Amino acid sequence: MAVFGIVASAAVDAGLAQTPVSTAVEHILAAGPNGVGQREAARAAQTLATAGPSIVPELLAAMRRANPIARNFLRNAVEVAIENGKNRNEGLPVAALQQFVLDREQLPQARRFAYELLLPETPDWCDRVLADMLDDPSLELRRDAVAQLVASVPKEVNANTRDEAIAKLQRAFEAARDRDQVRAIATRLRELGVAADVNRHDGFVLSWWLTGPFDNTDRAGFARVYPPETKAFPDLSATYPGKHGTVGWKPWRVPQGQTAVDLNTALVEEKEVVGYALACVVSPRAQTVSIRFSTVNAVALWVNGKKYAGFEIYHSGVQPDQYVVDVPLRKGKNSVLVKLCQNEQTQSWARPWEFSLRICDALGGGGVVEVVDATQVAPEQVWK
């Protein structure tokens, strides 16, 4: 029987069969793309599988050092070892697996795998530990913890249960990271008369200063350096030579209920143009944040004057968190500059000239910065 490339009927190399677990694991970790080390890894995985379920925690721990190919070999070895253990009436090392699940330094996917192994063995324990996983770095375990908390809220809330229901839903809302959960919990809170700002929860930047259009004829504008990108903290009272004359900065706020900065609406609907969007974000401390942005247009990103990303791709599709960049912020005010280029295509599907951007923690949670409202501050006061 073949299991993900491991053929159980294949002969195991005699020398490798005698190697200790740690050595066999190293053979697996050496596996890479294009067949590199995969023959040795398959043999090592077969060897490990014969040891039975007692080595499962060690194999799961090795996943933290594994590339995707090696991780697949390790998972296969775990599954075969467990199956062999069943045939020999050997049970799982429950205590060791429980300890592994609780170790937040381990690979999130491996911890989730261990949790799934434990579910049929110790369902009460699994249910109990979820209550402490609302802030877990494993998004899958965190999702289960959020679902458990939401499930504890009665579907019909009365005057006696309203306060407790709201408190639980608010905790779940803050902890949730998956979009479907966030929106479902927000809906329940609103039904109870409680505000739930999904965009703020997700960290979307909704207030910007915009300038343009600049020239992008023959798609030359992406590489061309225009004045807005030459200073870390641009003078928002400055003017520049644009495609059709002088342009300056204008404040813009994304309409209620939306996340996209639509330059067709905010600046001008035109082809072969470049626009810039600038935000001032205030960080409570020096920290590294995740900037996640999406667009169908060619785009570049600067933070505090340093370029962190550039993608010269036009109208090839869009998805949430399309581009993800980890960026250090300083304590206090920081500049976030987006350059957005529209090309010459005139088809209806090539009309959008827009982007959305959010600033969040490593797991996608917002609230890590405050965004200065461009419509409420004088240009000369922005960077002070």
* CA 302 to chain centroid: 20
What pLDDT was estimated at residue 261? Answer: 98
* CA–CA separation, 203 and 367 (whole Å): 6
Residue 2, CA atoms < 13 Å, CB-side half-sphere:
2
* CA–CA separation, 234 and 249 (whole Å): 10
* CA 368 to chain centroid: 15
| Cis upstream peptide for 57 (omega within 30°) | no
pLDDT digit string (tens) for 220-260?
Answer: 999 999 999 999 999 999 999 999 999 999 999 999 999 99
User: For the residues of 316-345, what is the DSSP string, one character each?
Assistant: S---TT-EEEEEEE-SEEEEEEEEEEE-S-
What pLDDT was estimated at residue 366? Answer: 96
What CATH number should be reported for the domain whose range is 207-381?
A: 2.60.120
What pLDDT was estimated at residue 84? Answer: 85
- pTM for the model stands at 0.85
Output the CA angle 205-211-213, nearest 5 degrees.
125
Q: Walk along the chain (384 residues) in steps of 10 and give the mean pLDDT of each run.
A: 37 44 88 88 81 91 94 90 88 96 97 96 96 96 98 94 97 97 97 96 98 98 98 97 97 96 98 99 98 98 98 95 98 98 97 98 96 95 94
* CA–CA separation, 222 and 339 (whole Å): 8
Output the CA angle 319-328-196, nearest 5 degrees.
50
* CA 236 to chain centroid: 32
Residue with tokens 């429950």: 94
Cβ neighbours of 145 (radius 10 Å)? 22
Domain boundaries of the chain, sorted by first residue:
2-128, 133-196, 207-381
Beta carbons of 284 and 361 less than 8 angstroms apart: no
